[in-house]
Structure 1
Amino acid sequence: MHDAAGTAETLPRRVELAGCTNLRDIGGYGGHGGRRVRFGQVYRAAALGSLTDADLPLLGSLGLRTVADLRGVEESGRAPSRLPQPGPAIVHLPVEPTVGASLRDILATGRATGEDVLSVLGRAYLAYATEKLPRFRALLELVAEPARRPILFHCSAGKDRTGFATALLLLALGVEREAILADYLATNRFWKREHALPENTPPEVAEALNRAHQHLLEAALERALAGYPDIESFFAGAMGFSPARLAELRDALLE
């Protein structure tokens, strides 16, 4: 079942599943040239390993051709996606979670704080914008292939790696920064924290880990775009999308 959509107040359009509470269509936002992002082409989500029997036909109704999994190799191995059969092709584009190791270290001290967690997350986001940017480039190349759409991409929570990926795609489509940030923060409304933290996790730490943080995304985007005079230059120089190729992507995903 879809939430109502069509205005800024009713976006993003969520796909309501019992086993994945953060699955949504990225369509509906105003984009380049006064056009809007098409619905039914690109979806963002949390992990799909806990879908119920009732979820499977609902997911199947989206007509997905591709599911791109941004989780690390061990992450995806521990919780493989549960998909309708015959199902979409799964493409693994692992953005390995360096946060996990750092987090274990600070939790082991027994004195971890929310600020500690935000510091670790901040380093992860800056890595998305630098050393791990080629993975996100590969995802955008996948989205740009007509035969791959409709496409869904996800990580574990659908919050950090998925959030940064969605922000890049919406930037490419000319969506305003305010709408990009609102889409990112919608995780805080939708996601029901299917991935439980250890019982002894301090509440302040859990709160920091479980939320999308606007300043982290803003800092990562600023870092990615640093040195480029405009969005088009960034996509040409860092992401391999020449002006002509970027125009093709916009024509495909805007209406």
Structure 2
Amino acid sequence: MELAPLTPVSLPRSIALDGTTNFRDLGGYAGADGRTVRWRKLFRSDHLAGLSSADLQALQALGVARAVDFRGVQERASQGYAWPFLEQQVLGIEPTVVQRALALVQQGHRLTADETVGLMQDTYRSFVIDNADRFARLFRLLQDSDQPLVFHCTAGKDRTGWAAALILLALGVSREAVREDYLLTNQLYRRPAELAAKAAQSVPQDILDVLWRVQMPFLDSAFALAEQHAGSMDRYLAEVLGVDAAARQRLAQRYLEG
């Protein structure tokens, strides 16, 4: 009797926690050789400083043992965390372009939404070359162990979004699915009410809507620079981030089903 092929298990992608709004699983996407990304191994999130005791129990139940924090110095100082079961690795990337945009507004410069989109594209282009070493280190961490890992910045949308895109591409996930995952932030992320109220006092709403959401032109600007620099995303992964064929095989063994 021939057995029917196993159907990949589908689990909730977004995980509801009291202290985050954008915590989600990268599992379930179709990857290389028809294999799917393993559930409950790779998570992306906004920052973890506000987790409740129930949240911490939920993370432990998921087996999450490692956290990669992409936030800058001031972000970590104002919203730091140290959870005993969670080994934290800081790969700090300063949000310099966003800081510059807010400074311009506060100095009286009337930014347009289009100018702000351009500044966000500058942010993403800075990930590609200027901060490539941080993302290369992320891939080394992923190869060192398959203990469940969460990576995050403050809102879990830009630095985290680029990291998620790179990981999924390295696992053979299609560009279309990568974009789908990236845009989920607009459905999930909720600005902290106190921060939103404070920002609204000095920054026009159309500018905040650009800064606090994601758009495909942001991510596409990073793809375009990586491809211009290396010739293709595969070559960028291999030559700039050190994710060559052997590394991708190791990643597949850890994070793809089958």
Do residues 253 (structure 1) and 251 (structure 2) align? no
TM-score by length of 2: 0.89
Which ranges of structure 2 fall in alignment gaps of 5 or more residues? 1-7
Q: Quick check: 126-135 or 193-202, which moved more?
A: 193-202
Structure 1 pair 21–101 and aligned structure 2 pair: CA distance change class (3 A): closer
Q: Quick check: 19-28 or 189-198, which moved more?
A: 189-198
Do residues 211 (structure 1) and 213 (structure 2) align? yes
- Is the 1:50–1:82 contact (alpha carbons within 8 Å) kept by the matching residues of 2? no
- State how many pairs are aligned: 245
Who is 1:116 aligned against?
115
Structure 1 residue 20: deviation in Å? 0.2
TM-score by length of 1: 0.90
Who is 2:5 aligned against?
none
Structure 1 residue 36: deviation in Å? 0.3
- SS of the aligned residue for 1:181 comes to helix
- Matches of residues 153-164 of structure 1 in structure 2 within 5 Å? 153-164=151-162
Do residues 74 (structure 1) and 74 (structure 2) align? yes
Structure 1 residue 78: deviation in Å? 0.9
Structure 1 pair 118–251 and aligned structure 2 pair: CA distance change class (3 A): same
Q: Quick check: 137-146 or 32-41, which moved more?
A: 137-146
- SS of the aligned residue for 2:167 comes to helix
Task: Give the aligned residue type for 1:143.
Answer: L
Who is 2:4 aligned against?
none
Who is 1:15 aligned against?
15
Which ranges of structure 1 fall in alignment gaps of 5 or more residues? none
Task: Give the aligned residue type for 1:199.
Answer: A
- SS of the aligned residue for 2:165 comes to helix
Structure 1 residue 231: deviation in Å? 4.1
Q: Quick check: 54-63 or 66-75, which moved more?
A: 54-63
Which runs of structure 1 show a deviation greater than 4 angstroms over 4 or more consecutive aligned residues? none
Structure 1 residue 225: deviation in Å? 2.5
Who is 1:133 aligned against?
132
Who is 1:94 aligned against?
92
1:202 to 201, 204, 225: 204
- Is the 1:51–1:82 contact (alpha carbons within 8 Å) kept by the matching residues of 2? no
Structure 1 residue 191: deviation in Å? 0.7
Aligned identity (percent) is 34
Distance in 2, Cα, partners of 1:53 & 1:113: 42
State which structure, 1 or 2, has the greater radius of gyration over its C-alpha atoms. Answer: 2
Structure 1 residue 81: deviation in Å? 2.4
Task: Give the aligned residue type for 1:136.
Answer: F
